Chain A
Amino acid sequence: GIQVEQSPPDLILQEGANSTLRCNFSDSVNNLQWFHQNPWGQLINLFYIPSGTKQNGRLSATTVATERYSLLYISSSQTTDSGVYFCAVEGSYIPTFGRGTSLIVHP
Chain B
Amino acid sequence: EAGVTQFPSHSVIEKGQTVTLRCDPISGHDNLYWYRRVMGKEIKFLLHFVKESKQDESGMPNNRFLAERTGGTYSTLKVQPAELEDSGVYFCASSQFGDNSPLHFGNGTRLTVT
Contacts and interface: CB of A to CB of B under 8 A. Distances in A.
A31 B100 contact: yes
Given A42-B107, A94-B33, A94-B48, A48 B102 contact: yes
Given A42-B107, A42-B108, A43-B108, A31 B42 contact: no
B56 interface: yes
18 contacts: A30-B100, A31-B100, A31-B103, A33-B102, A33-B103, A41-B89, A41-B107, A45-B103, A48-B102, A50-B100, A88-B103, A94-B48, A95-B45, A96-B45, A97-B43, A97-B45, A98-B42, A100-B42
Given A43-B91, A97-B45, 19 more contacts: A30-B100, A31-B100, A35-B105, A41-B89, A41-B108, A41-B110, A42-B107, A45-B103, A45-B105, A48-B102, A50-B100, A86-B43, A95-B33, A95-B45, A95-B103, A97-B42, A97-B43, A97-B44, A98-B42
Interface of A: 30-31, 33, 35, 41-43, 45, 48, 50, 86, 88, 90, 94-100
The 5 closest A-B CB pairs, nearest first, are: A48-B102, A97-B43, A43-B105, A30-B99, A99-B42
